[in-house]
Structure 1
Amino acid sequence: MPDAEMAALLRAVLDEVCADIAPSDTATRERVAARLSDLVRSGRCSVDELKRVGLNALNSAPTMWR
């Protein structure tokens, strides 16, 4: 479990990356959050890398409209 500072950073990155995603689209937000969490567990967690991985997860999220 991340400490309070890391949890706040993850929330900020998640909110920034998902700013244009409807709050009701929990599947996409969960997918991005999972990728961010995986990155933190791997030990690589610079802000830039978190944002990059979050954006990649967002762009690769499956949608019914593609």
Structure 2
Amino acid sequence: MFDAVTTTLLRAVLDEVCENVSRYETGARAHVASKLLEAATHSETSIDGLKRIGRSALGSAPTMWR
């Protein structure tokens, strides 16, 4: 598990990356969240790095509109 600081950082990055994604697009949000968690597990905890990974994941996230 992650410490409180890392957890807060991950949530903030997820919210920022997905700010234009509907809360009902749970598949897309879950995809981004899983990629962020995977990155943090591999010691990527810089804000810029996580944002880059999150944006990349959002571009490949499943959506009902594609």
TM-score (norm: length of structure 2): 0.92
Equivalent positions of 1:6-25 (< 5 A) are: 6-25=6-25
Runs of 5+ consecutive residues of structure 2 not aligned to the other structure: none
- SS, match of residue 65 in structure 2: coil
* Count of matched residue pairs: 66
Runs of 5+ consecutive residues of structure 1 not aligned to the other structure: none
How far 1:65 sits from its partner (Å)? Answer: 3.0
Q: Hey, what's the Cα distance between the residues in 2 that align with 1:40 and 1:48?
A: 12
Deviates more, 1:54-63 or 1:15-24: 54-63
Task: Assess, with a 3 A threshold, how the Cα gap between structure 1 residues 59 and 47 changes in structure 2: closer, same or farther.
Answer: same
Tell me if structure 1 keeps the 8 A contact 2:27–2:63: no
Identity %: 50
How far 1:13 sits from its partner (Å)? Answer: 0.2
Equivalent positions of 1:1-66 (< 5 A) are: 1-66=1-66
Structure 1 segments of 4+ aligned residues over 3 angstroms from their partners: none
Q: Hey, what's the Cα distance between the residues in 2 that align with 1:25 and 1:65?
A: 10
In angstroms, what is the RMSD of aligned CA positions? Answer: 1.0
